[in-house]
Amino acid sequence: MKEVTLNISLLVLIIVTITVIVSFILLAYRSFINRIIKEKNAQHEAEVLHQKSLVLENIKVQEEERKRIAVMIHDDIGNRLNILSLWLNNLDTKGDEVIKKNIYSQMSSLIDAARSISHSLYPVNLESVGLVLYVEELIANLSHKINISLQVMPGYRKKDIFTEVQLYRIIQEFTTNVIKHSRATDLWIYIKDYPLYMAVVISDNGQGFEYDQVKKGMGIKNIESRVKSMNAVHKWKSTLKKGSRLIIIIPTNHEPANQNSAD
């Protein structure tokens, strides 16, 4: 009996020892796996931040180059055309008013074209007049193509120039896409400041679209790149035959926004 009891005790001890060793191995393995997962998550976050940084830097470089060319067209070529127009207007054409009228008409067209090219490259006067007035000018210029309603809620605060340029570009891109593809007759722009973020909603009453089919298009890519450059989040809501809507949430502290805010 003593021998049996001793053998049982020895067996129990062996089992306990094996259990402890296996538990230790499992804990060590689990700790190893968790460490690997954390390292991969950290690496992924670093890659995401790097990609965001590259997108932001790329957009800034593009905007600086566009600004340089736009200012040159607006301030140099535009002014020269205006001066030339004044000279032609005062030119003695020996009574030939037809020639004078044709030259003046062509010069006016060149001035309008230079201004249009300048505005399409970069919103030169946005920094001085602000986003709201610049969007109102865009609405006036497009009034013959589509009805656009702008609603800016009380308490709106002027943003930094980079944010306002990106927002103007997004509104411009969205509007251009709607006019070209959606057959919409009306477009609405809603802007409101909240304590921690700014909300911008753009919608239309056009044909709508399937996001998966158009997400690779340059228009959608440009809009989403500009959203990312502001550390903002966005959500597309589109229904075929019922129009589309873009919701953008921009944090006021420039920290990444929560995707749930756009829902």
Regarding whether 109 and 1 lie in a shared domain, the answer is yes
Q: What is the DSSP string of 203-219?
A: EE-S----HHHHTTSHH
Same domain membership, residue 213 and residue 179: yes
Question: Which tokens sit at 41?
Answer: 């998550």
pTM, rounded to two decimals:
0.63
Note down pLDDT in tens along the chain; length 263 residues: 666 566 677 777 788 888 888 888 888 888 878 888 888 888 877 777 777 777 677 777 777 777 777 666 666 666 766 776 676 666 665 556 666 677 667 777 777 777 777 666 777 778 788 899 989 988 998 888 999 999 999 988 889 988 998 999 899 989 988 998 888 999 999 999 999 999 999 999 998 888 777 766 768 888 988 898 888 999 999 888 889 999 999 998 755 556 566 66
The residue behind tokens 């032609």 is 88
Tokens describing residue 146: 């589509």
Q: Which of 92, 121, 150 is the last residue of a domain?
A: 121
Note down the domain range covering 232: 130-251
For residues 169 and 237, give the distance between their C-alpha atoms in angstroms, rounded to a whole number.
Answer: 20
How many structural domains comprise the chain?
Answer: 2
